[in-house]
A and B are shown apart, each in its own frame.
Chain A
Amino acid sequence: EDKVVQSPLSLVVHEGDTVTLNCSYEVTNFRSLLWYKQEKKAPTFLFMLTSSGIEKKSGRLSSILDKKELFSILNITATQTGDSAIYLCAVAYGQNFVFGPGTRLSVLP
Chain B
Amino acid sequence: SQTIHQWPATLVQPVGSPLSLECTVEGTSNPNLYWYRQAAGRGLQLLFYSVGIGQISSEVPQNLSASRPQDRQFILSSKKLLLSDSGFYLCAWSGFYDEQFFGPGTRLTVL
Contacts and interface: CB of A to CB of B under 8 A. Distances in A.
B70 interface: no
Q: Is the interface of B mostly helix, strand, loop or mixed?
A: strand
Contacts of B101: 45
Contact of A42 (B42, B43, B46, B90): B90
Residue from A43, A95, A100, A101 with most neighbouring chain B CB atoms (10 Å): A43
Interface residues of B, number: 22
Interface stretch (B13-21, B79-87, B102-110): B102-110
B100 A96 contact: no
Given A42-B105, A95-B49, A97-B34, A34 B44 contact: no
Nearest to A88: B43
Given A43-B44, A95-B57, A99-B43, A48 B97 contact: yes
Interface residues of A, number: 23
B102 A43 contact: yes
Given A31-B98, A48-B99, A95-B49, A41 B104 contact: yes
Nearest to B32: A95
A80 B101 CA distance: 25
A45 B42 CA distance: 18
